[in-house]
Structures are given as C-alpha cells and as structure tokens.
Amino acid sequence: MDLTLSDEQRLLRESADRFVGETYNADHRRKSAAEPNGFSAAIWKQFADLGWLALPIAEAHGGLGGGAVEIGILMEAFGRGLVTEPYLSTVVIGAGLIAASGSEAQKQALLPKVAEGSLYLSFAHAERAARFDLGKVETMATETPGGWRLSGHKIAVLDGRAAHQIIVSARIVEASGAAGRLCLFLVPAGTPGMTVHDYPRLGGGRACNLDLRDVQLPADALLGDGGDALPAVVAVVDRAMAALGSEAVGIMQTLLDTTLEYTKIRKQFGRPLSANQVIRHRLADMAMQCDEARSMALRAALMADAEPVARSRAASGAKARIGKSARFVAEQSVQLHGAMGVTEELDIGLYFKRLLAFDTMFGGSAHHYRRHAELGGRVKA
C-alpha cells in the first residue's frame, strides 16, 4: 500500500504543471477557440515530444507503458489549464479501444502513429435513444461482399472533426435481420456517406454529431476479430471517466484557488469577504469537496485494471461523487465572485462550463449512482 508519487510520477506532474502553466492563458484559449478543430496542432506536436501521447501505449507499440495513474496526473494539469487538445478522445479512448479490441496488425499500424502525434482519433458511440446506456446501439453494420455497410446516427462525438479515423460502434445485422453483437469500425475522415455536424463544445474544444448513410467500408475496417466489443467499450469508458475525474479535480482546484484569492482582496463593508464566517465556511466546504474528488479520481485510476465489477463501481462512484462535488464548487465559485462571476470577463465562467461538460459526459451523478447500485446488486438493471 503506497499512495505517494514515484520519482517518475513526480517529474511528470512537475513538467505537466509547468507546461500547462506557461502555455495556457486567456489569450491562448482565444486562439485555440478560433482554430477549426478547437485546438493547436503545434501544441499536439509538443505533447508528442514530451512523451505524453506515448504514455499509456504499450512499449511493443511505440509507447511508454504507463497506467491510469499517470494519465490522471496529466489530466489534472490539463484541467488547470482547460486544455482542449484531444488527449481524451485520441489517446485515452481511441488508442485505448484499439489496444483493447484491435488486431495485432491494427495496433502495429495505428498505435505508433498516435504516440508520435500524427494520428487523431475519435470515438462515435452515443446515440440519442440510448442516453447513457453503453450497450444500447442502433447503428447497424451489414456485411457486404467487399466488407461492411454502416448506417445510423451518433451524437456527442468528441473531436470528430479533427479525427483522421473515427471509431464507430455498430451492431452487426445477423442473417435473420436481427441486431447482433456490438462491433467497432475504423472509419477514415471523408468517407462517402458520413456527414460530420461539428459544433463548439461547452467549456472548450469541439464535438459533433455524425450521420452515417450506407457508408461502405473495406473488410479490414472492422476492429479486431469481430467478437463482442461491449466489454472493451465499458472498460475504456471506465478509464476515460477516471481520467475525466482527474481533469475535473484540476478544474475544481483552480476555481477554489481563484475564488479564495478573490475573497481575500474583494472588500465590502470595510473588510475582505474572507473575514465573514459564512464565506469562510463555504470555502472550507469547497476545499473538502476538492479533496474528496481528488480521492475518488485516484481511487478510480488505481482500480482501472481491477476485475470488471469492482472497476466499474469505482469508476461510477468517482463519476457520481466528483460530479456532485464539481457542481458545488463551480456554482459556489460563481456565487462568491458575485455579479462578475456571471460575466464572460472572468475565466470563472469558462471553468464552470468545463465542469458542467464533465458532469454531462458519459452520464451525470444520477446515472452513475444508479449504475453503482445496479452493479452492487441493489437495483435491477
């Protein structure tokens, strides 16, 4: 039992904090927001140079073989700077799905490219009717003489516009015409029949909806051997939620630090706001929520490789708990900034929106408390 950072982990945190601290500011964010993809390709190259893109990829595929804890360290720093580069979609989820489901040839072909920064990935999975149910997919894949034909609609696809390859989930149409097992397909950007409806994402970055209309794919577009991909999707999303939890911790800590400073300098009735007990206790509660969120994100990361039920309960517990804490810290940060907190003139609102986006992604607290209870056998799925 040891929860202290190793020397490598401490170095990673220092370099991430330094890079983010020096690079990301209001000016940088404005420039990123003006980029078509919502982030900077030059910065992505620097991520590659720093070894961050290779971090969780296996050494056999050009990576460094890091784990969920290292990802968490990076993501917390990303949260502090509201980083919009597609680390989650490309490295954590995209490369994670290829590593979990891909054939050896696909891993060899794609993962080194992620590590070196030349390949952006995205995962198109959520659908309107499914809400947050990962198993509910109505997009269909029909086998054709030359490969596959995909049709369906996907929503909330992170960084889909930037992606060179979008990993699309679909159910195989069986001979009987019924929907069969869930499979993943690699769909290159610009494939005829796929329309990307790109939009700016709450809190920074881009996302899109996808229309897939008779999209023709070669046989080798299928990721892996065509076995049921749902367990891999669940595992990778659990990992993504742990990573997002750490990002949320970075955002929350920044909101707390900023709000704390503000209450020290803002004077009303002849004294700083922070001299008032009602404010002091609110800040104490915010600090506690930050600390609990930190514990839960770390717990989810440390359990990312545990057996599936324990792993998923840790991930859902973290998502639910951090979501609740994040809302509290975000709303109180705005409240304590007074009217200024409601304007776009301060960064507070940006951080607020990013936490709201965090809470929304992959399901909010209500969904994840329920999933936690289901996996614990308390409520029927």
Contact residues for other proteins (CB under 8 A)?
1-6, 9, 69, 260, 263-264, 274, 277, 280-281, 283-285, 287-288, 291-292, 295-296, 298-299, 302-303, 314, 317, 320-321, 369-370, 372-373, 376, 378-379
Q: How many Cβ atoms are within 10 Å of 25's Cβ, its own excluded?
A: 12
DSSP assigned state of 204: S
Closest approach of other proteins to the CB of residue 362, in Å: 16
Q: SS3 for 72?
A: helix
Closest approach of other proteins to the CB of residue 38, in Å: 33
Vertex 122: Cα angle to 137 and 58 (nearest 5): 110
- Residue 83: C-alpha distances to residues 28, 66, 102, 162, 186 (Å): 10, 21, 28, 15, 26
- Tell me the sheet residues that pair with 169: 184
Residue pair 172/229 in contact by the 8 Å Cβ criterion = no
Closest approach of other proteins to the CB of residue 381, in Å: 12
User: Comparing C-alpha atoms, which of 294, 11, 239, 260 is closest to residue 123?
Assistant: 239
Between strands 206-218 and 194-200, the pairing is antiparallel
Considering the complex, state which of residue 28 and residue 367 has its C-beta at the smaller distance from other proteins: 367
Closest approach of other proteins to the CB of residue 371, in Å: 9
Considering the complex, state which of residue 177 and residue 377 has its C-beta at the smaller distance from other proteins: 377
Considering the complex, state which of residue 50 and residue 373 has its C-beta at the smaller distance from other proteins: 373
Closest approach of other proteins to the CB of residue 373, in Å: 4
Considering the complex, state which of residue 11 and residue 219 has its C-beta at the smaller distance from other proteins: 11
Closest approach of other proteins to the CB of residue 321, in Å: 5
Considering the complex, state which of residue 67 and residue 180 has its C-beta at the smaller distance from other proteins: 67
Considering the complex, state which of residue 169 and residue 316 has its C-beta at the smaller distance from other proteins: 316
Considering the complex, state which of residue 1 and residue 175 has its C-beta at the smaller distance from other proteins: 1
Considering the complex, state which of residue 350 and residue 373 has its C-beta at the smaller distance from other proteins: 373
Closest approach of other proteins to the CB of residue 75, in Å: 15
Cα separation, 350 vs 368, whole angstroms: 25
What is the helix (H) or strand (E) element at residue 241, kind and residue range? Answer: helix 230-265
Ramachandran region of residue 262, left (φ > 0), alpha (ψ -120 to 50) or beta?
Answer: alpha
Closest approach of other proteins to the CB of residue 120, in Å: 30
Residue pair 243/75 in contact by the 8 Å Cβ criterion = yes
Considering the complex, state which of residue 33 and residue 373 has its C-beta at the smaller distance from other proteins: 373
Closest approach of other proteins to the CB of residue 175, in Å: 40
Q: How many Cβ atoms are within 10 Å of 370's Cβ, its own excluded?
A: 17
* Rg of the chain taking only CA atoms, in angstroms: 21
Vertex 55: Cα angle to 191 and 116 (nearest 5): 50
